[in-house]
Amino acid sequence: MRTKKEPKLLNEEKYRSTMIGKMLEIKNTDITIFNIWPYVSQLKTAKILSRKIKERELIYKVYRNLTEDFEHILLTTEKENNFVVIVVDKKKNKTIGYFLLNQDREYNLVA
**Residue 101 within any structural domain of the chain:** no
DSSP SS3 for 65: coil
Q: Which segments in the chain show pLDDT lower than 70?
A: 1-4, 28-33, 106-111
Q: What is the enclosing helix (H) or strand (E) of 25?
A: strand 24-25
Q: Which domain holds residue 72?
A: 1-28+55-87
Q: What is the pLDDT of residue 1?
A: 45
**Residue 39 within any structural domain of the chain:** no
**Residue 94 within any structural domain of the chain:** no
**Residue 105 within any structural domain of the chain:** no
pTM: 0.86
Q: What is the pLDDT of residue 31?
A: 57
**Residue 5 within any structural domain of the chain:** yes
Q: What is the pLDDT of residue 20?
A: 87
Question: What are the contacts of 25-32 at 24+ separation with CB within 8 A?
Answer: 25/61, 25/62, 25/63, 26/62, 26/63, 26/64, 26/71
**Residue 10 within any structural domain of the chain:** yes
Number of domains in the chain: 1
DSSP SS3 for 44: helix
